Structure 1
Amino acid sequence: MYTSSLLTLGLATLASAAPTWHSLFSRQTTCVSGNAVYIISARGSTQAAGEGSLSTVSTLIKNALPGSVSVGLSYPATLDNYESSENTGVVNLKKAVTAYATSCPSSKIVLLGYSQGGQVVGDALGGASFSTEAALSTTYTKNIVAAVTFASPAHVAGKSYNAGTSTKSGIYKRANTATLDTYASRLDDICDSNDLFCDSGSSLTPHTQVVSKYASAASSYVVARAKA
């Protein structure tokens, strides 16, 4: 069984700065239009507040789709109390999507998530892993044109929306995929083999390199979905 001590030992090496907790996500009030997208990025564990390493991906998307906007989801992203941190991310992401889609019902939304943030995105769409928090209402998810998760610990092997070289499920494998599976046409769940967390492997290297490795492919996927 996966333990919190293993999570702390492994992901602690990813820290580059102490995480900063801000007040609940402040939504962008300017509605995007046309092929432009509104990107919400859920950073990985211990990454500083903002978009974290996902800024590489969002920048590529914004360059390809002029007028697009990106913001970082506000949530703890901590290793201590991981389950509470992740669940807070789910709650905050649901609120962020709901608020923006309500104000901008014709705007396109893109979700990006890395590591713990990837689990946050998956749980917001498919239902929470660590609580009874329900999945986002389809009233608001219809605005989401694409979601890309990188190295989510909740990764499930064998899904049509999987990408990367992984053949195994993650350490927090999603128990029920029925709701998440409905997003198959607009979800890209990326995980590489032997990743300590999304592939239940033994190495941090594929985990730390996954965003930079697949940034171009992920942005191309999003751009194609936005233009579809």
Structure 2
Amino acid sequence: MLGTIRFHFLGIVAVVSSLVFHPAHRQNVPSDQCATGVHAIISRGQAGDGETGWDPLNVMVSLQNLILEQIPGSTSLGLPYQYGAQDKFVAVHDGAQLLQNYVTSYLASCPESKVVVVGYSLGACLTMDAICGTSSVGLNPVAALNSTYASSVVGVIVYGDETFIPEQSWNVGTCEIGLGIFPRLDPGSCEPFASSIQSYCDIGDNQCCSPLPLDNNAAHHAYMAKYNQGVVDFIRTRL
């Protein structure tokens, strides 16, 4: 895809039947490939029933395309976490640590670049845990990303985050009183990155807001069409 760095991760093995991967744990980039716009690291949602093959962007490819088209000099990749793992708690924990490693190693390679981290559904949980640390009952603990990275991580975008809680300055969407399945107990740990965070959660998303209405969780699948352009506009303001 035009403008996208195509990284070839040595040691990545895709086991098609189970969607379990063994990714490289760092992202070291040659200086001539450092983003002059933003570098977007995107964490997709959990694999659906019957899904096969390695697809680290899935429906999030639409947001990636807008970022690359509308913010010149940008690069992106899909985080190769275990989105097909049967144990979602392991996937969130390991994915959060992997995301932290990708952010810190990328910025070590490209200290002048700006980074945006994006997550949807299961990917949203690991993204918020990577930035804020874990404070939800039931999720395996991860320490917060060091606040020294707050000036380089200019966007933290999540759709349908199961750690959602209401009345936060970074909340976007129509959910005002609902809670995620694993509500975040210490939102204060997000404060160093607060100006960069946008957490999109709408009424009708049974995973981030509430079990009602009973409409097959329709809102959880509508964020891309509804909010992608607003996300790109927000990232532009952060630059």
Q: Does 1:210 align with 2:213?
A: no
Change (3 A) 1:136 1:172: same
Q: Does 1:180 align with 2:180?
A: no
> Which residue in the other structure is 2:117 paired with?
111
The answer (yes or no) to whether the contact 2:20–2:85 under 8 Å persists in 1 is no
Change (3 A) 1:25 1:57: farther
Report the residue type matching 2:117 in the other structure. L
> Which residue in the other structure is 1:40 paired with?
41
Summarize deviations over 1:193-223 as a string: whole Å, max 9, x none.
0211010224411001122221111111112
Measured in 2, the distance between the counterparts of 1:79 and 1:166 equals 29
| Offset, 1:52 | 2.0
Q: Does 1:120 align with 2:126?
A: yes
Q: How does 1:1-228 map to 2 (within 5 A)?
A: 19=19, 21-24=21-24, 27=27, 29=29, 30-33=33-36, 36-46=37-47, 48-78=54-84, 80-128=86-134, 129=136, 130-167=139-176, 168-202=178-212, 203-226=216-239
The answer (yes or no) to whether the contact 2:119–2:157 under 8 Å persists in 1 is yes
| Offset, 1:78 | 3.3
The answer (yes or no) to whether the contact 1:102–1:140 under 8 Å persists in 2 is no
- CA radius of gyration, larger in: 2
Report the residue type matching 1:186 in the other structure. S
Q: TM-score, normalised by structure 2?
A: 0.81
Measured in 1, the distance between the counterparts of 2:175 and 2:182 equals 15
| Offset, 1:18 | 6.5
Q: Where has structure 1 moved over 3 Å in runs of 4 or more? A: 17-20
Summarize deviations over 1:58-106 as a string: whole Å, max 9, x none.
2111111111001011111136211111111101001000100111111
| Offset, 1:19 | 3.6
Q: How high is the sequence identity, in percent, across the aligned residues?
A: 28
Gaps of 5+ in 2: 1-16, 49-53
